[in-house]
Chain A
Amino acid sequence: MPEAQPTPALPTIGILGAGKVGTVLSRLLLAAGYRVLIAGSGSPTKIALIIDVLAPGAVPLSADEVARDADIVILALPLGKYRSIPAEQLAGKLVIDAMNYWWEIDGHRADLSDPRTSTSELIQSFLPDSRVVKAFNHMGYHDLDEGPRPEGTPGRKAIGIAGDYDADLTAAAALVNAAGFDPVRVGTLRDSILLEPGSELFGANLPAEGVQDAATRFPETARGREVAAARADADEDEDEDAA
């Protein structure tokens, strides 16, 4: 029998965004024993009181500092502001995209509602030197707040995750599990559109089986067909361009 390995130190988590989702995720991960660094849109002093009350224990820093000092960074800012993300400092890191296109906050944006591209693919292209995984986006922040349960609890709610690399999905799954939810792999970053607004899973607060089922039947839903058609057209255009 091999000797017990010492538990490797938990990664430090950075959270960009100190709003509804950012503060809830901070609380969940602090409760799980992680060191959490968090940034709002301005200087850390602006969010010091918010963090002290709503996520005590998290460390308010600037966005640059959070991106630089954290091992894994969660994006919880309004999607429309993604260009403010400090891309350079995130190079080489796992970045978890919890953002959604919400036109009432972001304004109507064609670039964020194009069915041919998932918004996480957009983020991945903005962060070419990072590895992006979609997670924590489809569950409403109040369900995130109310839903965490220890692993193995019957009826434990699940969170769908999507990404392109197995190791990154494993790391994201560990975070989701630590936060109090069953992680369910639903596909690649391109597939992550099935976790976005307009898809059945968006807003879903279901156990693992329910998340899995909804992901499986996505292609048959109206939204799934719309996405498939738009992507098929795009591929055709590309073929024509190539020819």
Chain B
Amino acid sequence: MPTTPIEFGLNSFGDVPTDGSRTLSDAETVRLVVEEAKKAEAVGLDVFSLGEHYREGYVDSATPVLLAGIATATERIRLGTAVTVLSTNDPVRLYNEFSTLDALSNGRAQLVLGRASQTQSFPLFGYNLEDYETLFEEKLDLFMKLQREMPVTWEGTVRAPLVEQTLHPTMRPGGIPTWIGVGGSPNSVIRAARYGLPLMLAIIGGEPHRFAGHVDLYHRALDQFGLPRQPVGQHALGLIADTDEEAAETWWHSWQPLITMMGRERGFYPPTRERYELELATGALFVGSPETVAQKIVRMTKELQISRFDLKYDIGGLPVDARARTIELFGTKVAPRVRELLAAEGDEPQHDEHASHDLYRIGSTHA
């Protein structure tokens, strides 16, 4: 039976868009995201995922609530995160939210756990950034135990201990598909392998093939831990329009001010147009016509052996029409074109026969 060689996902951080000269309100944006998820399903995409941010211009702070709304408005598309900031979440609460989402959506819930590049949740919920490693390590340990071996007895330093604790609604056996999101830290790659969890590479700048070593490291680490191969995915930013020129102009208009603002916060200067053009040509931005973006994704399946590609289609201030067009072209043109190109080359990732089934079993076998 032919299976899907590559999965396509959309990622949203609930970025507030514009409509003509008007900026949408937060509430309008929340409702728009639900409509966009419905559209993603309508055009045949596999996963819709929301981030978790706590700052002006983003409305994805209550991720599971928003996903629950989408769950009742859709039937088939899987619902995930990109990423859940595990360090500042309570693993018990997270389990409850996502077991409920999984029940509500009839088994469509999944997660990417990570650090995220934004850190507002640390002071907001009373955590210290310096404790990041301990928080993530302990909470991942607990969250995976909850998914894999309920009832759970657990003791650590980051929350109250649990004794023979069972949570409800209980998740399906083994838990929901849980990926680890990494941004380049080799240690994070090893951690994903140690738990036998699939790897989501967040590549938002520079040439993506730089991550080939990380994929190799991930596979070697899985081998060393005696664990089976798991899928590798890529999270990228981009916009798809009818022509390369239109895509490049529309994206630049929103991306340039966004990166300028981030630069002010973190201490780097804004990118030049020249640098931007380079990111489009050989870098991490998937901005262009359907053919351009499809060709670039095909390159990723080779260079990084990915079997999942997630496109973050919203950045602040982007016109609602451009977002809608991206979703439509991603589903109706790019995804089929990538599959066509891969099929023509007979070069599909080898582990796909069972990849999509594996997603539901991940975590069940190596507690």
Contact = CB atoms under 8 A, between A and B. Distances in A.
A43 B303 CA distance: 32
Nearest to A101: B267
A146 B266 contact: no
A202 B186 contact: no
A199 B267 CA distance: 7
Contact of B206 (A18, A104, A142, A198): A142
Interface in A83-139: 102-108
B185 A142 contact: no
A233 interface: no
Interface in A185-217: 196-200, 202-205
B77 to A, nearest CB: 32
Contact of B220 (A18, A53, A202): A53
A57 interface: no
Nearest to A50: B186
A18 B210 contact: no
Contacts of A225: none
Contacts of B206: 140, 142-143, 145-146
A204 B263 CA distance: 12
Interface of B: 117, 119, 128-130, 132, 184-187, 190, 205-207, 210, 213-214, 216-217, 220-221, 224, 263, 266-269, 275
A196 B186 contact: no
Shortest Cβ-Cβ A-B pairs, 7 listed: A197-B267, A142-B206, A203-B268, A107-B129, A198-B267, A53-B217, A50-B186
29 contacts: A19-B187, A20-B184, A20-B185, A20-B186, A23-B186, A49-B190, A49-B217, A50-B186, A50-B187, A52-B220, A54-B217, A103-B266, A104-B117, A104-B119, A104-B129, A104-B266, A106-B129, A107-B129, A107-B130, A140-B205, A142-B207, A145-B206, A145-B210, A146-B206, A146-B207, A146-B210, A197-B266, A199-B267, A203-B268
A202 B270 CA distance: 11
Given A54-B213, A142-B210, A203 B269 contact: yes
Contact of A202 (B184, B213, B268): B268
Interface of A: 18-20, 23, 40, 47, 49-50, 52-54, 80, 102-108, 140-143, 145-146, 196-200, 202-205
A108 to B, nearest CB: 8
Contacts of A52: 220
A108 B132 CA distance: 13
B269 A106 contact: no
Given A20-B184, A146-B210, A106 B205 contact: no
A47 B186 CA distance: 9
Contacts of B266: 102-104, 197
Contacts of A106: 129-130
Nearest to A78: B130
